[in-house]
Chains A and B, each alone.
Chain A
């Protein structure tokens, strides 16, 4: 049994997440612009030398079985050229696959066709699902909120 969730990381030396938001209407969950000072990690207290936006899957679709029929993928297909016109150089679609007992994944031909048509890299990470532990899950949600901008 697997639970699939997805996000997309969009970046570029001149990428403007604000312009991308205005032109596409997409709601990014995280962004930073060139010159903005980071608060965490490699760029803590340093200006970013690239623009970045993260686009998340709608969590209400987390049980959608198909890899390609998710709203996130539809948004990407619709706005890919606009994102590139806003300076996006690297666009990576990522799937997290949390599994119980076994991790069996199927990419149907329609998934492959759709994903290939985006022309972007697709990555996968598989890990054992620990969300059965409700205490851990609650802590995770708290920490996730704390990390959100």
Chain B
């Protein structure tokens, strides 16, 4: 069965992480873009849509072509203040 992807708005993603939308835009999203910069380069974008798969892992989508990259990295891995 095909996996379903969701692309909630930034407010919802921020709520999932327990941070404000401001922190999501200023801190979380840049880290995701940086960690996956090489993969994004091959997709020919630097500013993807951020979504989730069925397992709450990050999915990156080219905002124009709709091309998808499944990262297998849970969004929760970018939660601030997690135990080291």
A residues lining the B interface (CB < 8 Å): 5, 7, 9, 11, 39-44, 50, 52, 54, 90, 92, 94, 96, 121, 123-125, 127, 130-131, 136-137, 139-140, 143-144, 146-147
> In the complex, which of the residues B22, B33, B34, B71 contacts A144, with contact meaning CB atoms closer than 8 Å?
B22
Q: Are B21 and A130 in contact (CB under 8 A)?
A: yes
Q: Are B77 and A44 in contact (CB under 8 A)?
A: yes
Give the interface SS of chain B, mostly helix, strand, loop or mixed. Answer: helix
Q: Are A9 and B33 in contact (CB under 8 A)?
A: yes
Q: Assess whether B56 is interfacial by the CB under 8 Å rule.
A: no
Q: Are B37 and A9 in contact (CB under 8 A)?
A: yes
Enumerate chain B residues within 8 angstroms of A92, measured Cβ to Cβ: 33, 46-47
Enumerate chain A residues within 8 angstroms of B77, measured Cβ to Cβ: 40-42, 44
Q: A41-B77, A41-B78 are in contact. Are A136 and B20 (CB under 8 A)?
A: yes
- Chain B: residues with Cβ within 8 Å of the partner, total of 32
What's the Cα separation between A43 and B77 when bound, in Å? 9
What's the Cα separation between A41 and B46 when bound, in Å? 18
Closest to B19 in A: A143
What's the Cα separation between A147 and B31 when bound, in Å? 11
Q: Are A50 and B47 in contact (CB under 8 A)?
A: no
Q: Are A42 and B73 in contact (CB under 8 A)?
A: yes
Q: Are A90 and B23 in contact (CB under 8 A)?
A: no
Enumerate chain B residues within 8 angstroms of A147, measured Cβ to Cβ: 23, 27-28, 80
Sample 7 A-B pairs with CB under 8 A, ordered by A number.
A39-B84, A40-B78, A50-B37, A94-B47, A121-B46, A136-B22, A140-B20
